[in-house]
Structure formats: C-alpha cells, structure tokens
Amino acid sequence: MKLSNATLGSLPEGIKRPTYDRTALTPGIVHIGLGNFHRAHQAWYLHQLMQLGHAQDWAILGAGVRPYDAAMRDRLKAQDCLTTLIELDPKGQSAEVTGSMIDYIEIVEGNRPLIDAMTREEICIVALTVTEGGYYVTANGDFDEAHADILHDAANPDTPRTAFGAIVCALKARKDAGTGPFTLQSCDNLQGNGDILRQTVVGLARLSDRNLAAWIEESCTFPNSMVDCIVPATGAKEVSLAKELGIDDAAPVTHENFRQWVIEDSFCAGRPEWELAGATFTDDVHIYEAMKIRILNAGHQVLANAAEILSLPTIASCMQDEDVSAFFAKVEAECIVPYVHPVPGMAPTEYADLIARRFANPMIHDTTRRVAFDGSSRHTGFLLPILRDAIAARGSIEGLSLVEALWARMCSGQREDGTVIEPNDPMWEALTEAAMKANEDPAHWLEQHQIYGDLALHGSFSESFAKWLNMLWRDGTRATLNVYLAS
C-alpha cells in the first residue's frame, strides 16, 4: 500500500496510524535538518501528543538548507509527509505511521522559503538536527567566525547559505514587524547544545547587526536538551522491511525500543506538553547530557574505529566480537564512567550496562560506517573532553589514548583485510594525510591543532598515543587490543 493520507485507513491491521484529523493541523514548529533521528524522536513525541488530542497547532514544517536535502523533500512530499517508524526489538518488531509533520519547505539558494516560513507569526519553535559538527565551533569551543560559510552569511544576510543565517534573517524580519521571538531548540548530541546554538546564532548576528544580536540574546531562548534513541540509516533493506509489513514508504525509519528526551523548560513563545508523551523537563539537563554523551556517544566511537579496521559491519557485531566488546567494557569502566555523575534513578555503572545491552541488540543494523562518520567532530565533542578530565585527575588515559590511535589508524583509509575505507569525514583528505605521516611519526597526528588543541603538549598522552599507534601498525589491531586488555 503506497503511503499517503488517502491510504491510511487501508493499511494492514496492526499498523498504528494517526487517529487525529491531519487536515486540521496547523504549524507551530520549523525543524531544520529533517533526517531519520528527528522523525524517530521529536516528531514521534509530538505525534503521541496529537494522538492524545493535544498539540494540534504545533505541527512541524520540515526544512533543509543543502542541495542533498531536496531528495528527502521529494520522497516525503510524495507521501504527504507521513513516516513509517519500525521498532526493532529482539522480542519482535512493530510499526507505526506518524503524521506530526505536515509540509517540507522548498529548498532554494538563498533559503528565502525557509526564511519566510520562520517569519510566520504562528511559528514559535525553530528546532535543529544538523549534526554535532554543524555549529561552526572551533577546537577551543569558540564561534568560528572565520569560516567561509559564516563570512558569506555575514556579508549577505538577506541571502544566507547556512541554517543559522536563515534564522538570523527571519528573526530580523520578526523584530522589525513586531512579531516577537521564537525558541531555538537544538536536538543534536552536544553537551550544552542550547548554549552552543545561542553562541552560533548570536555570534553570526553580531557580525552584521549588533543591535539585532542583542535583541536575539535578550528575547529568544535556547533550551539545552539531551536526546537519545539509536536510529540507523535507511537503505534498501529498510525500505524492503516496510514493504514486508505492507507499506510502500520511500523513507521509512527503523529504531530501537528505547527513547529519552530531557529538556530545559525555557521556551519564550510556548511549547507542546511533551511531558505528557514521556519527555522529562528539568533545570539540571547537563548531568543527563554528560552521562549520555560520554557513555553512549563516546562509547560508539570506542567501538566504531576498531570495527572499521577489523571489517565488523555493525555495532551489534562489535558487541558479539570477544576482543572488541571486552575493549569497550574496559574503556567504559576505567576511562569514562569515573568522569560521569549519577542522575536521578540511574548510576553511571547502571547506565553503562544499559548501553551495552542496547548496542548488542541484533535487530538494530546500525553500521559502523554511520557511527564512525565525522570523527573529527565526534572525537572532539565526545572523547577529548573526557581525556582532559582524566589528565587533570591523573587517572588512567591508556584506553582513551588507544581509542585515538585506532581513529588515526582507521583514517589511513585501509582495513586490515586490504579493503578500502571510503571517505567518511568532511576532513577526510587532511585526516588521511595526517594518518599516513603518523605511520612514520605519531606526533604528526596530534599536530592537528583544530582537533587536539593543546593536548599534544601533555607528555603522558602523546607518549601513550605513540606507543599504541606504533603497536597497531606493527602488530595489528587484535594483538594490540589484547595487550591493552591484559594490562
């Protein structure tokens, strides 16, 4: 059955579907970066509210700012912006069609349709999932005002290239018209994601209009949040799975049987009652963020680079591999968990056990390639802050040093079976060049100051890193992992 509004009533029995009148929905949210995670997470929470009879005036307008977003727009528009969510549980799978998104904004150079949509008075929240590396942040955590995209938007504020430039342009129009501000909500895996979003938006506005920047900083809110659900990429297998369930969906989403959303309650123009759908509102988001980002997201990087080198295709296959799973457990226990604070109802060790079980879910075909993507942002955001804490505390850094050495070895572009690792990072060419030089002298890798900053100056780290990288090249990954596991 081709998915559309017209066929919702004819879907196979057992497939959950919207019980609300989608034609009566009106928009309240623009979401930029409408990928799989958003559709399985924020859009799902909103859909649950609508199923309860709430939030009918908070529907989502999807948006992208890059040319490659056009293909997703075409697929979703052709099926009335409906999405099939397929939950993959070892005990069995289930499917649900969600309808909280009602349109996808046209993608054109200069982003005028997106700007016009955000200028609409009924839009009260602009949310983003633009990846961890999409916020124009330097290695030191500052706003990267020298980036070519930022320079373009500062010089051309009415025809911006970036999502943030479009946001600034829309806020100027709202300020001038007296429409008022909206809340800016990051849904990316960054600790202090709201604070980082504020830094980028206000920093960009300040380059072209200091008065506007001051108004944004004073009037808009940027709630921090923690988001969590493992959502693999969609390919032919996922499309076929939807068809096996009786749904012809061009862009279905598979996900695990776990979701969590912890949000700071700071919304300047109102919000949906997401707590009725299971979200947690708290003034202490940061401890939740830190636990999840350090144990889950950093843990993903612990696995992914070793797995790429060893040709392990998925995160579940990593957890089935005796050496790699033992490596993961040791690094988590000795190098990550000691630098995580408990949250209400959950100790770090309990959370680490939960993550291990979730990673081992054999139904989730989350590829190591997806998890390893954009390591230049993910290592910087997830792992290196833990390494800095460990150095400051004079704790064990051997496992984290080995993780960084595995990343360097992976970026050489070749697995141990001789197959090629295709480019998988915006900085891939520079990373590969540094990795090959580091084969001769490991110091070359740590000289990437945009990633490591002053960490190369810490002798204990640079020495440990060099030891492990030399061993990886000389003895191979499994032998090196076993040396670490025996230490």
Could you give the C-alpha distances from 381 to 214, 258, 377, in angstroms and in order?
A: 28, 23, 6
Measured in degrees and rounded to the nearest 5, phi and psi for residue 336 equal -115, -55
Kindly give, in sequence order, each residue whose CB lies less than 8 Å from that of residue 382, ignoring residues fewer than 6 positions away. Answer: 132, 189, 293, 294, 297, 298, 300, 301
Per-residue pLDDT tens listing for the chain (487 residues): 899 999 999 999 999 999 999 999 999 999 999 889 999 999 999 999 999 999 999 999 999 888 878 999 999 999 999 999 999 988 888 999 999 999 999 998 899 999 999 999 999 999 999 988 899 998 778 999 999 999 999 999 999 999 999 999 999 999 999 999 999 999 998 889 999 999 999 999 999 999 999 999 999 999 999 999 999 989 999 999 999 999 999 999 999 999 999 999 999 999 999 999 999 999 999 999 999 999 999 999 999 999 999 999 999 999 999 999 999 999 999 999 999 999 998 999 999 999 999 999 999 889 999 999 999 999 999 999 999 999 999 999 999 999 999 999 999 999 999 999 999 999 999 999 999 999 999 999 999 998 998 998 999 999 999 999 999 999 999 999 999 999 9
pLDDT of residue 132: 81
> Residue type for 187, please?
C
End-to-end CA distance of the chain: 57
**Strands 183-186 and 280-281, bridge-based pairing:** unpaired
